Amino acid sequence: MASRRVSSLVSRSLPLLSRGGKQSYLGRGIYRYSTATAALEEPIKPPVSIQYDKLLINGQFVDAASGKTFPTLDPRTGEVIAHVAEGDAEDINRAVAAARKAFDEGPWPKMTAYERQKIMLRFADLVEKHNDEIAALETWDSGKPYEQCANIEIPMFVRLFRYYAGWTDKIHGFTIPGDGPHHVQTLHEPIGVVGQIIPWNFPLVMYGWKVGPALACGNTVVLKTAEQTPLSALLVSKLFHEAGLPDGVLNIVPGFGPTAGGALCRHMDVDKLAFTGSTETGKIVLELSAKSNLKPVTLELGGKSPFIVCEDADVDKAVELAHFALFFNQGQCCCAGSRTFVHEKVYDEFLEKAKARALKRIVGDPFKSGIEQGPQIKYIRSGQESGATLETGGDRIGTKGYYVQPTVFSDVQDDMLIAKDEIFGPVQTVLKFKELDDVIRRANNSQYGLAAGVFTQNLDTANTLSRALKVGTVWINCFDTFDATIPFGGYKMSGIGREKGEYSLKNYLQVKAVVTALKNPAWL
């Protein structure tokens, strides 16, 4: 397909027109994308049923106080999967009260660390046992490929809880020498009732990032799920209680941001907030905390991550890694490498191969084996820009569900909207650079600072870029490596604090200094 100039980017909220070309059929529900639209066949029936669609408060599944429900949709079709209890302020009050009682009077913070560890390990074992069922539910509700859920995300979730279970008996304070006759020690204490709000793009992984460290430290939790993807959190939380988690320690409230989310953020009996989502919403979370009881807030927010391909790069490998960095999870990833900076010496070769790779991307029913890209879960932001060249994509696929063609733009300039704003979809923007100092300046010229990718064979270049880029994570010759031990978070408007690894424990602990006078000490 010849390149063409465009003035807007596709949005799931608007009807999309066919622009010609072909789309090769690979089997039931699978399309190797080229340039046209086509209706996908009847979607595969998910091998799982809906068991839990109510709020989980104080160890019991209950209806919302209002009796209201909301639909969660299958993004393959737009049809309703289930009607889920819609939490509101009264339900948040009930959940916080249960969490407060469990923290102040219940066994969880008073248990030995070893006992908490055993419950968390039993939970991880149960999730592993139910891997396929949980993966199917996650795929049905979110549209991400089943193979991604079953082989990557659920095992990652299990690893996270085993990792944090291992931390339970390694959280401790210090003995500190003072300047006088005093015994000085610090205590690392659980912070109390933690409010957590997770996004729709990685429902279970974000559950793990937040619930894991909070419970390992001895806190209790009220978790608000995203209204688009509430189902998997309810299922795994049921398994957590089967593992022996005491009632009230973990409460799950599906609902909407302005109602349930707002009530959680402003609640005077919540001691800590953790939020993952957009920068715009993160500002509201921070504001509500400040206007209530000034509870500390951890924020993991938006990004517009640069992926820098240097002149010495193996172009074929760089194309594949840049493709993964952007298109993984349908491009619905806060740290997606959505600004692909390519050195001018390899730009033309890279662009042609990047376009060819996008054309080969397999889009279709996420339950089908071999699928690389399922449907989008949420609207792609419209990117009004001028002058960029649409190399391929830009259209909806079919008439049912929310499938979008993998899209590549070239001739992108730094001041274009698609180079500045999060699109949160399968849209790769390719920019040209000449000098290292120039690409450092341009990469850093963003309100975001979440992550970056560097592709080079030169160690000096890698070291220069890793220190110069103002981001929380730099991946060198790799991307989206999310080991449980590696901290993740952003600079600037990409957030506050770090998740995962030892660093995340600090989010959920208070430090108390205890100073005791010594009488006639033998030594100091």
Catalytic residues: 300
Can you read off the two tokens belonging to residue 436?
Answer: 């290292």
At a CB cut-off of 8 Å and minimum separation 6, what does 408 contact?
351, 354, 355, 358, 390, 391, 392, 393, 427, 428, 430
Q: How far apart are CA 55 and CA 72, in angstroms?
A: 14
Q: How far apart are CA 351 and CA 187, in angstroms?
A: 56
Length of the chain: 524
Q: How buried is residue 170: exposed, middle or buried, by Cβ count under 10 Å (0-12/13-18/19+)? A: exposed
Report the b/e string of 248-262 with b at 16+ CB within 10 A. bbbbbbbbebebbbb
Alpha helices in 193-334 (DSSP H): 203-216, 231-242, 262-266, 279-291, 315-327
CA-CA-CA-CA torsion for 10, 12, 17, 18, nearest 10 degrees? Answer: 80
Q: Is 12 left (phi over 0), alpha (psi -120 to 50) or beta?
A: alpha
**CA angle, residues 197, 200, 206, in degrees to nearest 5:** 55
Residue with tokens 């490929």: 145
Q: What CA–CA distances, in Å, run from 302 to 259, 322, 336, 446?
A: 22, 19, 10, 11
Q: How far apart are CA 316 and CA 339, in angstroms?
A: 18
Can you read off the two tokens belonging to residue 325?
Answer: 């960095």
Q: How far apart are CA 498 and CA 422, in angstroms?
A: 21
Report the interhelical angle of 113-129 vs 154-167 (nearest 10°).
170
DSSP 8-state symbol, 301: -
